Structure 1
Amino acid sequence: MGTGRASMHLWYEVLAGRGASEISSCLMKYIELNFRPLADDEERKLIIWSDRCVGQNNNWTLLNTCCYLVQSRYFSEANQKFLVSGHSFLPCDRDFALIEKKKKTSKVYVPSQWKYVIADAKVNEPFSIVEMRQEDFKDLQEIERHLLKTKNKNLKVTKNLWMKYSIDDPFCIYARQTHNTLHPWQKHTVYTAPSRSLPQPHQLPPEHTSLLPISQAKKADLLRMVPFLEPEYRGFYESLPSIP
């Protein structure tokens, strides 16, 4: 599914957090924008390379999301592969370095201006920008309720370097602790029978239905900065919700 063009999904903290649910929601948004569900006689494989960040990438939430995308017929097989910590890096690390470099010569007064910095950070094959709305962040517990039978205690999601899910064996996840294709798969029964009522991505309920308040201390710090901003930018910070 690789296109060679990086996609940057943007939001700020009153819309959503930055954990496993948010990363999985961004993945689903990308898939919705770029792929259609398969016909019965079609096949398509998803391969995701991830780092070992447990809070975002290496967890049951993202694993369930990959399986959900297969059951929703966007893919016939999903693979999540992990780098060896401390010995490898992802292409996105180079992309982030370009953004950091561009940031040093840019002025940003409100979060919505970051998209211009990111768009200009790479001249050849510019980054694709997706501005996430709050309704794009889904309640992924709904996926777990539909699919997950049990979190198989023998499947250690942080110990494997490669996990695979296929529509041909919809009850199981296959795992390897190596990238060596000669190494046998370990089979783990995890899921229930596919549900006919499985919701499509756009049918999943939102994770949040109102803006997330920031702390009073952060709001106070931002308001102390406001007098130094041009009037056109002040309203954004003045209107931010804060914890009572």
Structure 2
Amino acid sequence: MRGQHQNCPHKLQDETSEAIIQHIKSFRGRKSHYAIGATRKVYLPGSLSVTKMHRMFMCSHPPHIDKFSPQSSILVHTEKRFTSISLRFPVRGHSSVECDRDMALIKQNTDVDLPHQWHQVFSEARVKPSPFHVIPCAQTMFLTYADHLKPAYRATCPLKTRPIRELFINAEHPQLASFRNSWNGAMETAVVVSRQQRQKSQPLKQSFTAPIPISKEKFKDLQCLKKLCSPANQEFYASLSVLDTVDGDSAQSESEYDE
């Protein structure tokens, strides 16, 4: 039959049509003063026009965001921005990278007893062009990426990383790594991914869920060195976790380490 087809690419969704109706009803109308009898017709003010009403609707409902689609609240939009990665390694011993220059600004001989006191030292190490922005790292930020990526890549690196001068990875062939050992030599390729994934990747978990323990020898040395700290800071080193601590060892008094 004529007009009975589904080829309507610009057909409005039911949610959009309902939004337009509610938008029109939001305007306050008035009854006609010239009607002879009773009427239910309502007239909008003369200052309004279809163009103004459309402009007001587009401002409250932008076209690039479909707010009336229930799917829009659960979709995640992704965009692949990185198409290639290139790394260039200067000759060892003849390079001055930014991290080396920043490390030279840190006064490593500053009297610091506790780890969190380094935050102030780092933030005050540079003034121009701007002070260092120190970000405290919690244990929740460290995840088991090594266990997660291990099944996807080869167990041993297929190329020698030390003599490499340039390294390239392209999104079209992510399983290959192109490299060369000189600045003008020929490019070589190596397969870095595992040919057969014997097991699925492990889910990402926290690397640490408790304070990281130290060895008994290091703990013993710290008990001797803590005498140089203030009494308030000595409590920090006395409460450190020790690796492979047995119930009998953990009950040792501090006097044993003070001898």
Provide the alpha-carbon RMSD of the alignment: 3.0
- Partner residue, 1:141: 147
- Partner residue, 1:7: none
Are residues 1:229 and 2:234 paired? no
User: Which of the numbers 132, 135, 153 marks the counterpart of 1:130?
Assistant: 135
TM-score between both structures, scaled by the size of structure 1: 0.56
Deviation at 1:214, TM superposition (A): 1.8
- Partner residue, 2:188: 186
Matched letter for residue 138 of structure 2: R
Larger radius of gyration: 2
Matched letter for residue 234 of structure 1: Q
Cα distance in 2 for residues equivalent to 1:107 and 1:38: 50
Alpha carbons of 1:78 and 1:190: their partners in 2 closer, same or farther (altered >3 Å)?
A: same
Deviation at 1:222, TM superposition (A): 2.0
Cα distance in 2 for residues equivalent to 1:227 and 1:159: 47
1:18-97 to structure 2, matched below 5 A, reads 39-40=78-79, 42-43=80-81, 75-97=82-104
Matched letter for residue 83 of structure 1: P
- Partner residue, 1:205: 205
- Partner residue, 1:171: 175
Alpha carbons of 1:159 and 1:96: their partners in 2 closer, same or farther (altered >3 Å)?
A: same
Cα distance in 2 for residues equivalent to 1:171 and 1:149: 11
Instruction: Give unpaired runs (5+ residues) of structure 1.
Output: 1-36, 44-74
Query: Once the two structures are superposed, what CA deviation does each residue of 1:86-123 show, in whole Å capped at 9, x if it has no partner?
Result: 22231221111110xx344x321101111111111111
Q: Percent identity at matched positions?
A: 27
Instruction: Give unpaired runs (5+ residues) of structure 2.
Output: 1-75, 246-259
Equivalent pairs, count = 164
Cα distance in 1 for residues equivalent to 2:157 and 2:214: 37
Deviation at 1:161, TM superposition (A): 1.5
TM-score between both structures, scaled by the size of structure 2: 0.54
SS in 2 for 1:131: coil
Cα distance in 1 for residues equivalent to 2:157 and 2:235: 49
User: Which of the numbers 90, 105, 116 marks the counterpart of 2:120?
Assistant: 116
Query: Once the two structures are superposed, what CA deviation does each residue of 1:196-237 show, in whole Å capped at 9, x if it has no partner?
Result: x978xxx62233444332222322232234354334322211
Cα distance in 1 for residues equivalent to 2:124 and 2:178: 41
